[in-house]
Amino acid sequence: MTAELIDGNALAARTRADVARRVQALKARGVTPGLAVILVGEDPASQVYVRHKVKDSEEAGLNSVLERHPATLSEAELLARIEALNRDPAIHGILVQLPLPRHIDAARVIESISPAKDVDGFHVASAGALMTGQPGFWPCTPYGCMKMLDSIGYELRGKHAVVIGRSNIVGKPMAMMLLARSATVTICHSATQDLGALTRQADVVVAAVGKRNVLTADMVKPGAVIIDVGMNRNDEGKLCGDVDFETVRQVAGWITPVPGGVGPMTRAMLLVNTLEAAERS
Ligand SMILES: Nc1nc2c(c(=O)[nH]1)N[C@@H](CN(C=O)c1ccc(C(=O)N[C@@H](CCC(=O)O)C(=O)O)cc1)CN2
């Protein structure tokens, strides 16, 4: 068996086109969705990601403002900027690119964003809303993974999903989203014993560790759906995920590639969240 690819680039393009249509409808009612993207420091990868976010939003018809600050910006100065954006009626979504410089407490910064503008879905209020099934913003990466599962018409009810990774921004919210669809969810992490024994039982595996080859072919049930959230570099410097793609695709039923899988969907779901923030305002 060779797995079918779940094409994140194609699904993201359809999602962006849908957002663009909804933005036009909102503009006709006099509202232009506004997104503020804050970058602190000169991390090269973050600079690329924020540029993409601004370009994506402009192409979909949103207003986006990119604020670049030096790495020496103090936490108090950053909190003051966020407070001003919280009050700005033209801004519906606020995003602080992570990671932040070490002298800034990322949790305090995230909690200072108004939950109504938390389009990254990282605020504790957004996490609580997800956990209790209340309306709120879902973090873009796991939200994008759910859209990828939906795109192949996958019925999660009663299926066993294994999430590898327990971060606040991917692993934990991913598990909650799968649970909300009535999957049986196992969360694995660095202290899990015999990871393969668990993944071999899984109908769906989401790998979100940030380490190459965490999932190999011998750890996969034939026909399983494999979602690869990882973004790593191999020995040749090429971008790769957490999954040993070439061997796992011989066993799995569906698989997401890296690049061209979850990454583009993360970007697309930010547009969806920002549009919805504006629609709710
Ligand atoms: N405030 C946030 N910070 C960070 C987030 C986030 O969701 N919110 N996630 C990551 C980085 N990230 C978005 O910010 C992100 C990274 C990569 C991609 C992507 O499309 N990757 C491409 C490949 C890009 C390349 O060639 O380098 C792909 O997978 O095809 C999207 C979003 C950390 N920080």
ipTM of the modeled complex? 0.96
Task: Please give the Cα distance from 92 to 69 (Å, whole number).
Answer: 21
Q: Is the CB of 120 under 6 A from ligand 1?
A: yes
Per the structure block, which two tokens stand in for 188?
Answer: 């694995």
Fold agreement between 30-115 and 140-263: yes
User: Which CATH architecture describes the domain 140-263?
Assistant: 3-Layer(aba) Sandwich (3.40)
pLDDT of residue 100: 98
pLDDT at 147: 98
Q: What is the pLDDT along the chain (281 residues), one digit of tens a residue?
A: 799 999 999 999 999 999 999 999 999 999 999 999 999 999 999 999 999 999 999 999 999 999 999 999 999 999 999 999 999 999 999 999 999 999 999 999 999 999 999 999 999 999 999 999 999 999 999 999 999 999 999 999 999 999 999 999 999 999 999 999 999 999 999 999 999 999 999 999 999 999 999 999 999 999 999 999 999 999 999 999 999 999 999 999 999 999 999 999 999 999 999 999 999 99
Q: Say whether 19 sits in a helix, a strand or coil.
A: helix
Minimum CA distance residue for ligand 1 atom 34: 98
Sequence ranges of the domains in the chain: 30-115, 140-263
Is 97 part of the annotated catalytic residue set? yes
* Residue 98 in contact with ligand 1 by CB distance below 6 A: yes
For the entire predicted model, the pTM comes to 0.97
Cis geometry, peptide bond prior to residue 259 (ω within 30 degrees of 0): yes
CB under 8 Å to 155, separation ≥6 — which residues?
none
105 has catalytic annotation: no
Nearest residue by C-alpha to atom 5 in ligand 1? 98
CATH class given for the domain over 30-115: alpha beta
**pLDDT score of 1:** 74
Given a contact cutoff of 8 angstroms between Cβ atoms, the answer to whether 197 and 178 are in contact is: no
46 Cα to the center of ligand 1, angstroms: 8
Residue among 232, 250, 249 at smallest CA distance from 241: 232
Beta bridge partners of 162: 186, 205
Ligand 1 mutation target, pool 53, 78, 97, most atoms within 8 A of CB: 97
Binding residues for NADP(+): 165-167
C-alpha to C-alpha distances, 12 to 59, 151, 183, 225, 263, nearest whole angstrom: 13, 11, 25, 19, 9
CA distance 234 to 236: 5
Would strands 239-240 and 254-255 be described as parallel, antiparallel, or unpaired?
unpaired
Question: What's the confidence (pLDDT) of residue 20?
Answer: 98
Structure tokens at 79: 């909190």
